[in-house]
Chain A
């Protein structure tokens, strides 16, 4: 008998995760992994937050804890606290019971569950995503049964926001279309709208009845302040309208592999939220039945204990500050070398990533000659840099930009 799957072709490497695969294969003593967006310390090591270790110890030592199934929508306490985190403690939407929240598998899982719900229950099947966006976004939505269109976002000439293009494209979208918005620290560009620009986006979207779907993967990680980074989401919720929010704790709590996240659907009325919640269960049950308990328990432990919450904020700010400092150091290094071009976008952009503006040839050159691993779109993870490696990166960029071929 021949296998029924004998003719299957090998899938291409994931463009983002494949970078780390390639990095690991490189035997050069001096190499730099600026690919995947996972935070690294000044020593280049992954970081488990102290407050996370504390929370984990509490859980391990609590012998009354069991490993039973969570409900389909996950840990109730975690869900309430997550909604408060993004919407604010005093959010009227929460007080009025208008928010349906489901614990999901980090940002990816929250996006996918939200998208499947939309494909089942919403009359519009098109989602508008910014150009560019996180490489996994399109597949998440198409696998869920939505079709994907883009709206202009990044302006390569300014290395900033193409605000005019954004407003035009969203203005031309059909009424009711879904629009994916990066809540803060846009991935991969690091370019965020200003508060004024967010307000205009909000007004435009509400006037056209466009449905906002926020991807919030970096709350607290961008500016260092949880409230500041949540502003765009809160502006939309404050107007009483509806929206979807996918939250991830991968970066801001360093819980990457534990897959901790939440999908919140802010509705007009409490009874709507309740029905929406019941339908979310039908999406989740045939996907994985119920979410993993460990990571959410850690997150809930931290969020509900005011001392631990404050500790978390301090550690979070430290990570954000280190990244901001790396931006400054890289900018200063390139300025000092006189590398041609305007590199101010390095310090204007925000969050984990910088969209350098380097093209794929330059990236390939940097990988080959300097063993620097990054995605071919020129995105670098600032979290992968340290004071000791900034000079090497600056050398590489300088060489890539000034070489004659």
Chain B
């Protein structure tokens, strides 16, 4: 019947349509989504015409002129790559060379675990992609587990595990009064969580607070997690960027490895190699033996295939070109240290400026905290004043991206902060 009816209306091009125009949109009930709290800040900044505006919102590195930076080692790697290689699909697990070098950074150059092939690892879409793959993997293979997430954390962590349909719980982390770590409460939460829970840990340079456990505290955390049989998943987005020394920044992970944990790690090259938009990262899961690592890797690939089939090649080529060339690798380490040192310098400058202005508050935390971000302690209302009165853009939780601070704007920033807090 349907065929005969259809055959009799052999019209092509613009036709009389059965129903299409008269129906309303299927999407008419779709709500406008709220703006992303972090990325929305830069949008607002870009729209502001004020000459003194300052962007200390999104965590992307800026040089002392406030300009984005492409590292020299990256430019050189790109020159070597362009025109030489083809653009064939990578395997589902990504670039083997890139992953090998990336594991060395996290697990150690001479790690026995790498030699014994006990690490299941795949190239991932930067830190976000690595976390999401792990969350999907957790959902599939430990469907009864939940994820413990620190308070506060990078906002997108909540979205990732939610979309993977893994239930979330939180653990104490930031101590507002001291603007430091709420260590006792954190240890209590680890102790009280049901045995075998999954804990999300920031390996270094906690985002958004910049507050990291000390080495001694990490050792205690490791022991407690071990005692409870918990699984530690590290998000390491700032290796090298925190202290300037990648080995030092991986200390927390190395402690857990020494203590015999089986861990997972999300690594990102967005900040430490400045490869933001290239989306280059790695997800690794430490396994009992090589056979298990092969099995786990195959399952991670099964999760990547229906998401994007295989990861992008360009950024991975940049990374493996740099890390496989001793001179380029040395140059990279130097450039990472320059970035980290500039940020550390700005922390000192901001703190000193505020102290010199005679601020009644303590600003020690600016230099105690580490990495790209400073959890200033400013209230949302104070943040709104900074934005509305001084055209200074940051997220409403008071997180300042130190990478946006320069010798050119640090005084202006200090003045503004002083103005909105001096009566606090």
Contacts and interface: CB of A to CB of B under 8 A. Distances in A.
Contacts of A48: 86-87
A375 B11 CA distance: 39
A141 B299 CA distance: 18
Interface string A28-55: 0000000010100000001110001100
B30 A4 contact: no
Contacts of B202: none
Interface in B260-295: 260-262, 270, 274-279, 285-288, 292, 294-295
B301 A11 contact: yes
Contacts of A65: 70
Interface in B22-67: 23-28, 30-33, 36, 39, 58, 60
A132 to B, nearest CB: 17
A290 B279 contact: yes
Given A204-B2, A206-B17, A240-B20, A286 B87 contact: no
Given A71-B39, A108-B308, A209 B23 contact: yes
Interface string B142-169: 1000000000000010011011100000
B313 A275 contact: no
Contacts of A142: 306
Contacts of A163: 3
A195 B315 contact: no
Given A238-B14, A288-B126, A143 B307 contact: yes
Q: Which of A8, A48, A143 has the most CB of B within 10 A?
A: A8
B132 A287 contact: yes
Nearest to A254: B87
Identify which of A57, A68, A241, A269 gathers the most chain B CB atoms within 10 Å of its CB. Answer: A68
A8 B13 CA distance: 54
B79 A242 contact: no
Contacts of A140: 306-307
A294 to B, nearest CB: 4
Interface string A8-28: 111100100100000000000
A278 to B, nearest CB: 4
Contact of B312 (A4, A47, A235, A258): A258
Contact of B25 (A1, A143, A267, A292): A267
A5 B279 contact: no
A336 interface: no
A332 interface: no
A275 B33 CA distance: 7
Contacts of B160: 286
Given A67-B70, A288-B279, A203 B6 contact: yes
Contacts of A66: 68-70
B25 A259 contact: no
B36 A6 contact: no
Given A5-B287, A294-B314, A109 B308 contact: yes
Nearest to B164: A286
A314 interface: no
A235 B11 CA distance: 11
A121 interface: yes
A29 B288 CA distance: 39
A9 B126 CA distance: 27
Nearest to A116: B163
Contacts of A278: 32-33
Which interface class (under 10, 10 to 19, 20 to 34, 35 or more) fits A?
35 or more
Interface stretch (B89-97, B327-335, B368-376, B403-411): B89-97
Nearest to A163: B3
A108 B309 contact: yes
A85 B325 CA distance: 41
Interface string A251-279: 00011111100000101110010111011
Interface string A156-177: 0000000110011001000010
B88 A67 contact: no
A2 B229 CA distance: 10
Q: Find the residue from B30, B60, B90, B274 having the highest chain A CB count within 10 A.
A: B30
A254 B87 CA distance: 7
Given A122-B26, A256-B87, A288-B125, A238 B13 contact: yes
Nearest to B264: A5
B9 A203 contact: yes
Contacts of A6: 287-288, 292
A31 to B, nearest CB: 18
B302 interface: yes
Contacts of B82: 56-57, 60
B33 A279 contact: yes
Interface in A222-263: 235, 238-242, 250, 254-259
A66 B10 CA distance: 53
Interface in B114-162: 125-126, 128-129, 132, 141-142, 156, 159-160, 162
B18 interface: yes
A106 B308 CA distance: 7
B79 A164 contact: no
Nearest to B11: A199
Contact of A196 (B10, B28, B91): B10
17 contacts: A1-B261, A38-B89, A66-B70, A67-B74, A105-B125, A109-B308, A112-B306, A136-B305, A136-B309, A196-B12, A204-B2, A235-B12, A238-B14, A279-B32, A285-B159, A289-B279, A294-B315
Interface of A: 1-6, 8-11, 14, 17, 36, 38, 46-48, 52-53, 56-57, 60, 65-72, 105-106, 108-109, 112, 116, 121-123, 136, 139-140, 142-143, 163-164, 167-168, 171, 176, 195-196, 199-200, 203-204, 206-207, 209, 211, 235, 238-242, 250, 254-259, 265, 267-269, 272, 274-276, 278-279, 281-283, 285-295
